A and B are shown apart, each in its own frame.
Chain A
Amino acid sequence: DSGVTQTPKHLITATGQRVTLRCSPRSGDLSVYWYQQSLDQGLQFLIQYYNGEERAKGNILERFSAQQFPDLHSELNLSSLELGDSALYFCASSVGVGRWETQYFGPGTRLLVL
């Protein structure tokens, strides 16, 4: 158990809908990262927040947005969903922002768009 929790574990929705994925980092971690893993693909880095502020942005679509709240939990919002958005979404957390910081991953949320 990494100490990172993600809810829900599974989500099934329809095209055009909007969903929110939630992540609670490990106690004491200020950085939160979001990743997407599509079928047969590596993890795609989406975005990083540190202590409430956006820190780094990867290949995140404009239909996707994220935020980190004062209690440090984070939410990833996916809107106007398409079939291709079906994937595993991982959240990870680390203490700080240094590249040597170990990222601890949650178990993921599996999203299926029908």
Chain B
Amino acid sequence: DQQVKQNSPSLSVQEGRISILNCDYTNSMFDYFLWYKKYPAEGPTFLISISSIKDKNEDGRFTVFLNKSAKHLSLHIVPSQPGDSAVYFCAASEGTSGTYKYIFGTGTRLKVLA
């Protein structure tokens, strides 16, 4: 049972345009969400996160939106650059008092076309 789903395995976007990556979750106990980026032959790299008490978090070109009622989050990259081409994983966390479990989606491969 996939508790975190990234339904689009791949996405292609023109350089300079907006990239929107989506993620849905089913567990209402998740209260912290993260996005990671992964290049081939490397480990994932943390990109941005959002707590469930917020609905938006921005860091430079990257913005994460959280819609708790829809159990949906999205990552917006504006403007998209060729170096953004990578696999993006959405992750959710649940737990308390320093004991947390992390559930990852299957990833979306983003290709930014020059």
- Chain A residue at minimum C-beta to C-beta distance from B41: A107
What chain B residues lie within 8 Å of A44 (beta carbons)?
104
Whether A40 lies near B106 (C-beta < 8 A) is yes
Say how far B29's CB is from chain A's closest CB, in angstroms.
13
Can you list the 5 inter-chain pairs with the closest CB atoms, starting with the nearest? A105-B43, A97-B98, A42-B104, A43-B104, A42-B106
| Secondary structure dominating the interface of B | strand
| Interface size class of chain B, counting residues whose CB lies under 8 Å from the partner chain | 20 to 34
Say how far B35's CB is from chain A's closest CB, in angstroms.
12
Q: Which of B14-22, B44-52, B67-75 contacts A (4 or more CB under 8 A)?
A: B44-52
What chain B residues lie within 8 Å of A102 (beta carbons)?
46
- In the complex the two chains form, what is the Cα distance from A40 to B93 in whole Å? 21
Whether B98 lies near A58 (C-beta < 8 A) is no
Known interface pairs A42-B4, A45-B102, A103-B46; 5 further A-B residue pairs with C-beta atoms within 8 A, sorted by A's residue number: A42-B89, A42-B104, A42-B105, A44-B104, A99-B32
Say how far A9's CB is from chain B's closest CB, in angstroms.
9
What chain B residues lie within 8 Å of A55 (beta carbons)?
98-99
Say how far B104's CB is from chain A's closest CB, in angstroms.
4
- In the complex the two chains form, what is the Cα distance from A17 to B70 in whole Å? 45
B95-114 vs A, Cβ < 8 Å mask (1 yes, 0 no): 10011111111110000000
Say how far B34's CB is from chain A's closest CB, in angstroms.
9
8 residue pairs from A and B, CB less than 8 Å apart: A42-B103, A42-B104, A42-B106, A43-B44, A56-B100, A97-B100, A100-B49, A106-B43
Verify if A92 is at the interface (C-beta below 8 Å from B). yes
Verify if B42 is at the interface (C-beta below 8 Å from A). yes
Whether B44 lies near A56 (C-beta < 8 A) is no
Say how far A6's CB is from chain B's closest CB, in angstroms.
8
